[in-house]
Structure formats: structure tokens, C-alpha cells
Amino acid sequence: MRCFYLASGRKISHQKSCFHGIGLTAEKIEASTNILKCKTGQLPITYLGLTVGANMNRINNWTPVIQTFEQRLSSWKAGRITLIRSVLDSLPTYFFSLYKAPVCVIAKLEKIRKSFFWGETSSNKKIPWVSWDRVIAPVEDGGLGLGCLNAKNLSLLSKWWWRLRNEPDSLWGRTITSIHFSQRNCTQVPMKLGVVGAWLNIAKISSHLEKFNVSLQDLITGTVGNGNTIRFWIDTWTGSKPLKDSFPDLFKLERNKGCYVRERCTGNGLYSQWEWNWSRSPSTPAELNQFLELLSGIQTLNLTSTTDSWAWACDPSGTYTVKSMKHKLSKASFGPKHWNFPWNNLAPLKTNILGWRLEMNRLPTSDLLLRRNIPIPSLTCPLCNSHDETSQHLFISCPFSDALWTFLLSWCKIPLSKPSHARALFEIHKDPMISSKKSRLINLIVLSYIWTIWKIRNKCIFSNKPPSIRYATKELKSNSFLWLTNRSNAPRLEWSNWCNFTF
């Protein structure tokens, strides 16, 4: 410790230090602590916020992460999606980057995210209007893009496979290889089932990825240079998958299943020569056919003096990124694609989500509340008091919304008829009669239209304020104007020009 102090300039406080013995008897630990004048420590410990020395397959060792989730949520009330994306998703990242979270832990954290998203508390239950799988689905597949925690966990752990391939001579890489490497190992990363710990779970994530129909070993592809680090049968270096999967009958005949390309390929001419180490020569028709196919695929390989290199198949740069892996898993984990809602970043996120829910008919209108056995005083539309309230009626066929829509068409100078269903509202800006310059603005105004109707509807129900078409037209123009001027980088627009819809 004196040498450490002289080399680093950091003096160790014996009173604050603990001595941890691994594989030592209690007597040796006590003798060491007496010499070092420090306390005896017990595993597990927390180092830089990460639990060390604990069995992370046990659910109770994930309690700190779950408690942090719950504590952060207690003081948050609004901006839920922003908070989920910026804070909640980052809280477990430190643990997820090293440990495979148990299924129960993932389910618990997802439940916390789901409850927070819908504003649910222990004393105030809320209706989850949209399935959670749809909410966390990618935006291009019709979701909100919140992402799956399980996919995030697997993506962070997959990075260790990539790092081991590209950093084999690092201290941690040499340590893992010395402990887990075996010639009998037929996996892409070294793994010994008898050596438990964090690395064993990292090495076994390929079985979890198979549930997503994703093969990690197929996505990390090697480019042969000198052939010293790419294994002939196990790694993916020619074709889209390892040779052991393409030619299983030949792989069974191989004596040294972990051999490298250099051990099988000799010579540096145009056509390389190959040395095989079969338990017996290929003889059956299937084996001979596979052997001929194998030779035709590798006969032009030419070893060079450069080192072997690795590329990540899911990113154009060829370098592994957690984002690209999460996107790959998200595409594979969710069902068929849904309609892609046209998100408009000129409008607030909550307004976009209102439109997103309207297209799915997932707004708390009277008909849907009644279907869920929620007691309501009246089924009648609060804007016209003549028809039952449904999303279709409220935004499409209600006389009040019809009058507001007529004003919208006149204001924007659009010679189009009113859409017949909710989805058509969000596709009107794609009409060929609308110029590309105004297309995005029309979509913004449509979002202002549904936002205005929904706010007036809520004021009628909860504040007993009668609907006013004059107030609605004013809100329609002012809301869209404020959104545009505050959320756009375009030159400032005058209110008079906006009222006349001239630019």
C-alpha cells in the first residue's frame, strides 16, 4: 500500500478500509486485518454503486434498483413520457450492463413504468387504455418507442461479446479467457458451466436472444486476415452463419472443433491449400455434398499478414452499438406492425399522443367508459346533447365539430370534404391538392383541432362550461400559432398572416 501511495499520490485510510478474503480461512483473514490495521469486510459489497459478490440471479439482490424506481416516482406527477425516457430508462442501466436481470425483476420494473405512464398510484387506480406492448413498440411500428427493458438488458450484455472479440489482449479479456477457455467449447465466447458468476450469464445470453429469433454469433462477422483469431467452424466469417451450422455433418467429423482458420488454410497463393483433421474421411453422400459445397465457398480465401477484424452487421459503421441491437430486438419482439401515426414535432407531445389514442379509439369517451363498467351520469355528447358520445361522433359527426371543421377548411383554403373516420383526419395533409409547403402545417392544425375539441368537451363535463364555436375557432388558431412560433426554427410568423393563412 505504501508503493500504491507513492505511485498514485492517494493515501489509504486504514480506518475506512475493509479487508475481504476470498477462499481464505477466518484465521488468515483475521491475521491479515491485524497486520493492515483495518476492518474485516463481508461480501457482498457495493462498489461504485454496483453490487459485487452477490448472486444476482436472486431477486432480492435487485431490491436497490426497484426501490430507486419507486422513490423517484413518488415526487413526479407530469411529463411522464419524457421522464420515462430520460430518467427511468437510465436508472437500471448500470446493473443491466453487467448482470442479466431475472424475469420477475424485469416484470416488476415494467409494471412500475406502466403504472407511472398511466398515472396510477397505490391509492388511485387507472385504466390502461392501450396495451403496454403497443406503448413500448417502436414509433415506426405504431408505438411510442419507450422500448422493452428486457431488450435493453440483452443489448447491454451483448456488447461484452463484441468487446471480447475486439479487445482480446485487454486485462479483463485475458482474465476471462484464462478462466473460461476450453478447446471443447463450441460457443463464440469462452464459457465454463462450472464457473458461476456474471460472465456465465453473459455468455449464455444467446439462448435468451433465440426467443427473439436473433443469433448474436451471426451478427458478429469476422474478416480473415492472418486467420490467427477467427475460429474456422465456430465464428461467422464466410456466409451468414458459422460453418458448423451450415455443414453440421462435417462438423461432427472434425477432431479439433475449436481450430482457427490458420490451422486449416495453408499457402498464400490464388488458391489456398487446406489441411483437415477428420475423425474419418467424409464418405456418405450428405457428407460429400457438404464437403464439395464447403470447398467451393472457401477455395479463394487468401491469408495475409494483417490481423483479423470484426464487424457488426446491424450498423452501417460496422461497430457495435447498443441502439442498433435494441432496434433489432424491438423489431423481432413485437407483433405485426400497426399504422404509423404521423408524429409532428411542431405540436406538444401530449397533443400527438391524444391523436395517437384517437386513431386507436382509446380515449375515455362515454361508450368506452360504460363498456368498462365505469359509472357515468350520461351517455349523451356534451357538445350537442343529441347523440351518444363516441370518438367517431365527437370528432367527426357532431354538429359542433362539423362547424369547427368547416371553419378549418375555410381558414386554410382547403377544398376538401370532411373525413369519414379518425384515421383520415391524420392523412388529410397527404392529399395531392395540398402543397408540400403547407402539408406539415395542415397536420399541425388538425392536431390543434382535436386538442381544442377535447379540451372543450372536458370543460363541459367537469366545469359545466357551455361549448362556444367562437371560442373554439379562437383556440384552434391561437394554439396552432403558439406551437408553430415556439417550436419552429423558421422565421417568425406574424399573427395577422397566420389568421389569413398567408405566408
Is the C-alpha dihedral spanning 398, 402, 404, 408 positive or negative?
positive
On the question of pLDDT at 269 being above 60, the answer is no
pLDDT at 46: 77
Chain segment 159-185, per-residue pLDDT in tens: 999 999 999 899 999 999 898 887 777
Phi, psi of 486 (to 5 degrees): -95, -15
On the question of pLDDT at 23 being above 90, the answer is no
**Average per-residue pLDDT for the chain:** 89
pLDDT at 155: 95
pLDDT at 436: 82
Model confidence band, residue 271 (pLDDT cutoffs 50, 70, 90): low
pLDDT at 74: 64
What's the DSSP call for residue 260?
B
Tell me which of 8-22, 122-136, 296-310, 411-425 is least confident. Answer: 8-22
- Whether 36 and 14 have beta carbons less than 8 Å apart is answered as yes
- Whether 108 and 91 have beta carbons less than 8 Å apart is answered as no
Chain segment 475-490, per-residue pLDDT in tens: 999 999 999 999 988 7
pLDDT at 478: 97
Cell numbers standing for residue 188:
463464440
> Exposed, middle or buried, 479 (CB in 10 Å: 0-12/13-18/19+)?
buried
On the question of pLDDT at 267 being above 80, the answer is no
Interval 208-222 mean pLDDT: 91
On the question of pLDDT at 362 being above 70, the answer is yes
pLDDT at 335: 66
DSSP string covering 379-410: -B-TTTSSSB--HHIIIII-HHHHHHHHHHHH
Q: What is the pTM of this model?
A: 0.85
pLDDT at 401: 95
Q: Select, from the ranges 83-97, 190-204, 267-281, 344-358, the one with the highest average predicted confidence (pLDDT).
A: 344-358
